[in-house]
Chains A and B, each alone.
Chain A
Amino acid sequence: NAGVTQTPKFRVLKTGQSMTLLCAQDMNHEYMYWYRQDPGMGLRLIHYSVGEGTTAKGEVPDGYNVSRLKKQNFLLGLESAAPSQTSVYFCASTNRGNQPQHFGDGTRLSIL
């Protein structure tokens, strides 16, 4: 049982480039989330989804877009990468009720 899988694990981009981060979960979870984690800032919510075909903005959505075309996948896109988006990105999923979030291993993204 893989749980939550994020690809890629590492990436270096130049300013202005675009890329997509993929999150896949095999637990049939309804809810999926994208966070960024910066030193001293904790986990900040970028976007989330409450089901297939739905997305919503979190605390820090600017510069990012998301899509949830299939229940098991949640994609995070950077259209024009900026150095301020250098961070570690975590995807998480959960079901309704009192269940905890399951996190992927993270994507370490550096933008030069």
Chain B
Amino acid sequence: GQNIDQPTEMTATEGAIVQINCTYQTSGFNGLFWYQQHAGEAPTFLSYNVLDGLEEKGRFSSFLSRSKGYSYLLLKELQMKDSASYLCAVRGAGGSYIPTFGRGTSLIVHP
């Protein structure tokens, strides 16, 4: 089975930096995804990590440590529109490409 843990809620100030952590315990590992979901909308893809290290995409970066079962999503220069839920999803072993989602972290950005 798989167990994925994220903080339920975080708050931050516009212009600041925030780090959202995700820890996981899985039987095998085939990649970790981060998705953003605004209220009432569908999740949209942010980043993918399969090897250890940092992946950077503009204001968003994602880090993975497979040995520690740990990832984080780093959001820089926060904007009000970044207020959303951030979902961590881990793809385990096997060929069915079935990711397991964490419960999501609700980020509230204040002016």
Binding site for B on A (CB under 8 A): 31, 33, 35, 40-45, 48, 50, 56, 58, 90, 94, 96, 98, 100-106
Contact = CB atoms under 8 A, between A and B. Distances in A.
Given A43-B89, A103-B44, A105-B42, 16 more contacts: A31-B97, A42-B102, A43-B87, A44-B101, A45-B100, A90-B43, A94-B97, A98-B48, A98-B50, A100-B35, A100-B45, A101-B43, A102-B45, A103-B42, A106-B41, A106-B42
A96 B45 contact: no
Contacts of B44: 103
Where chain B touches its partner, the secondary structure class is: loop
Where chain A touches its partner, the secondary structure class is: strand
Contacts of A48: 96, 98
A98 B45 CA distance: 12
A107 to B, nearest CB: 11
B101 A43 contact: yes
A33 B80 CA distance: 31
Contact of A43 (B41, B43, B45, B96): B43
23 contacts: A31-B97, A35-B101, A40-B8, A42-B87, A42-B101, A42-B102, A43-B101, A45-B98, A45-B100, A48-B96, A50-B97, A56-B96, A58-B98, A90-B42, A90-B43, A94-B97, A100-B33, A100-B48, A101-B33, A103-B43, A103-B44, A104-B42, A106-B42
